[in-house]
Amino acid sequence: MTDPEGQTSTERPVFTVEPWCVREPELRLDRLAQSESVFALSNGHLGLRGNLDEGEPHGLPGTYLNSFYEQRPLPQAETAYGYPESGQTVINVTNGKVIRLLVDDEPLDVRYGRVHHHERILDMRAGTLTRHVEWTSPADQRIRVTSTRMVSLTQRAVAAICYDVEPVHQSMRVVAQSELVANEALPDGDKDPRASAILDHPLISEEHVANGTKVLLLHRTRQSGLRMAAGMSHHIEGPESMAVETESSPDVGRLTVATRLEPGQRLRIIKYLAYGWSSQRSRPALHDQVVGALAGARQTGWDGLLAEQRHFLDDFWCGADVEVDGDAEIQQAVRFGLFHTLQAGARAERRMIPAKGLTGPGYDGHTFWDTETFVLPVLTYTAPDAAADALAWRHMTLPLACERAAQLGLTGAAFPWRTIRGHECSGYWPAGTAAFHINADISDAVVRYVDATQDERFEREIGLEILVQTARLWRSLGHHDVGGVFRIDGVTGPDEYSAVVDNNVYTNLMARRNLLEAAETAMRHPDMCDRLGVDAEEAASWRDAASAMVIPYDERLGVHPQSENFTNHARWDFASTKPDHYPLLLNFPYFDLYRKQVVKQADLVLALHLCGEEFTDEQKARNFEYYEGLTVRDSSLSAQTQAVVAAEVGHLELAHDYLGETSLMDLHDLNRNTRDGLHVASMAGAWSGLVAGFGGMRAGGGRLRFAPRLPGGISRLAFRMRYRGSRVRVEVTGESATYELLDGPAITLWHHGEEFELGDEPVELPIEQVAARPAPTQPAGREPAPRRIDPHSREPRPVDS
């Protein structure tokens, strides 16, 4: 059984609970891969997994460059039109994290000798990972090592490590080897021998150079033809009698420092790393780029890089921080989630935000609809430049999306279900590429960003074309039936246990919004519409389709069916489903899932959140309670949406439970797959559950609205966000909410439907208490773990094994 914190009763926590850091007080080799993901550092361009400095032991080595991939075959049991023949997989590039240490010829290896102390700390204000080790070698030589690692948020190509070595009691000879290593051996993770052959040693050497304390390695991929360069440069402090050598070979560059240390002396190696890649630039150009980045890093210096990092993060937290009183785990988790959400996109600069960020190779490094629906809302209100960059990347891939639509016999743009460079990388039609809602998800993110920032240039140059091409897709994908209503048939909504259905409510509502926003935006930019070939007749056809859109409703049950006829299907036999048969997709045939009432992840409930204006309060409550009984959460994306809507309809304690699940997904490794990388959408979900859930934040059409209420387990919630040039702070207690304008122009806000002006003086408004609703039931054994057990409010619910 698991306890409320998600740990088995006999298992001690991996990390301590602290408000501004994640601390691992001892090395857990059995959870090493999880820690490597949690301690990953990234800036959206470059990502370093939290591997030990010496490289071994490891769970999964990992150094990643955003969108740097290798092609691989996509085997199909049968050939069919429209199936992609090859996919794209992120690869582990040249590893610059390695610093090996020999103590009187004994290598520092935590599996041998004695580890007296081992601690790692991820500092979310400093943006650094620090490691403290005290170790005695098999020959009884005791050494103390401290390393601090960073990936720069201000110099996108740069990472750096400060590595200190000190003897504890006696003098000793030490040798440190700082390395660049390409084509590292990886754990066997793919059963397809063709793919394994391609991804084994994917980098071909083009150049290797060693000069002074600097080494460069340049490689290209075998199949995709991408070129990358990695370089390292060093600043060394220690005794006068040091021997320093550098060497390079096609896949290894090494700097070796040998010296004798007396008690009280220290060897310090500051290692600067730089990375670059391109599909077009020449080998000399990449060489020079990395040399230049190293020169910039050395000129800034270690202390300068730390200062820049702290300044960048101070500015971010000033407009993004969330404070939680009453639940210390959630306090840590929401800052952890914000930190990793920022890392995923801060310096991506017109490249994608993968589902795992740059923390691991899960999902082959692909991006999905997760980014626009779950990650970009957080960045839009906390780091809007990063959201703009992610959407600019979608715009860059628009020609490929238009090609894909044409291949499918459609007009407009069909964005890929999963991709790295804009090509469709999913060969599975029903649950993947039939999920056309991704096109509306992207357009919705465009509208949200423009509303929050009033960035007219972005709207003209990027947003408008995305809105136009996605509107064209819906107009060609759907049709007016004989009765004149507009139908969108044969698609898959967010719930992948219901595939190729007619009139999925979420898809139709989001498509309707897409069509209307495209028409309205086109009116604001008639000159751009001429270039895009949009005329009044086409815009009118979008409005007609939107006004006639089918939104199914079951009068008998008083709920919206997830899709047409969904509520007529037989219910899944939850009572007879064994706990170890979840997730269902791994234990039951898809055809059985497709014809039953069972929901993998929030679908209709996601519509309640993102299209809330389309439902009455009573419809929201009835819909939520109905789908609670069907949703098994076989996807990590579900809990955050259920948290937000549960809070809105009055199930505050249940919302707290779901908040715990999305927030602690990786810190507690709830799905036992954090080893492959963090769930970035779940990380973002901690913010959404608190700000959109308990803060009741909704925005659109120039209106920023709040409807705050807290569960019993949280006594105070405060959060900051950015909207239309203003930085706002909201503080909520059980009785009232206080709104404060931190900077920017005065702004009109709404509190539980009441409009007010926020200027120089804070505004405090009361919160009306509402009666708690009876808790809905979930499928047997799929209840979220309770965050709080209050015998006066409800009985504790059983939790998963």
Residues annotated as part of the active site: 496
Q: Give CA angle at 373 (370, 374), nearest 5°.
A: 70
Point out which residues pair with 64 in neighbouring strands. 47
Task: Tell me which residue of 237, 204, 220, 229 sits closest to 294, measured CA to CA.
Answer: 229
C-beta of residue 259 within 8 angstroms of C-beta of residue 174: yes
What is the DSSP secondary structure assignment for residue 431, as one 8-state letter? I
Which segments within 565-679 are labelled E, that is strand?
570-571, 596-597
601 carries a ligand binding annotation: yes
What is the DSSP secondary structure assignment for residue 356, as one 8-state letter? T
Query: How many angstroms separate the first and last alpha carbons of the chain?
Result: 4
* Angle between helices 384-396 and 464-477 in degrees, nearest 10: 50
76 carries a ligand binding annotation: no
Question: Residue written as tokens 């006999």?
Answer: 10
Q: Which two tokens stand for residue 401?
A: 């999306």
C-beta of residue 317 within 8 angstroms of C-beta of residue 311: no
CA 671 to chain centre: 16
Task: Tell me which residue of 336, 355, 338, 334 sits closest to 346, measured CA to CA.
Answer: 338
369 carries a ligand binding annotation: yes
Backbone dihedral region of 737: left (phi > 0), alpha (psi from -120 to 50 degrees) or beta?
beta
Find the Cα–Cα–Cα–Cα dihedral 254, 257, 258, 261, rounded to 10°: -140
d(CA 640, CA 420): 25
d(CA 779, CA 798): 11
d(CA 291, CA 274): 8
Helix residue ranges, H only, 178-242: 193-199
3-state secondary structure of 682: helix
SS3 content of the chain, % helix, strand, coil (to 5): 35, 25, 40
Task: Tell me which residue of 292, 297, 38, 295 sits closest to 160, measured CA to CA.
Answer: 297
Query: Which string of DSSP letters, residue by residue, matches 269-285?
Result: EEEEEEEEEESSS-HHH
544 carries a ligand binding annotation: no
Kindly give, in sequence order, each residue whose CB lies less than 8 Å from that of residue 717, ignoring residues fewer than 6 positions away.
322, 323, 324, 325, 690, 694, 695, 708, 710, 731, 732
For CA atoms 425, 431, 437, 441, give the dihedral sign: negative
Q: Which two tokens stand for residue 533?
A: 């070939």
d(CA 551, CA 564): 9
In this structure, which amino acid lies at residue 647?
Answer: A
Residues annotated in a binding site for substrate: 369-370, 600-601
Q: Which residue numbers belong to the known binding site?
A: 369-370, 600-601
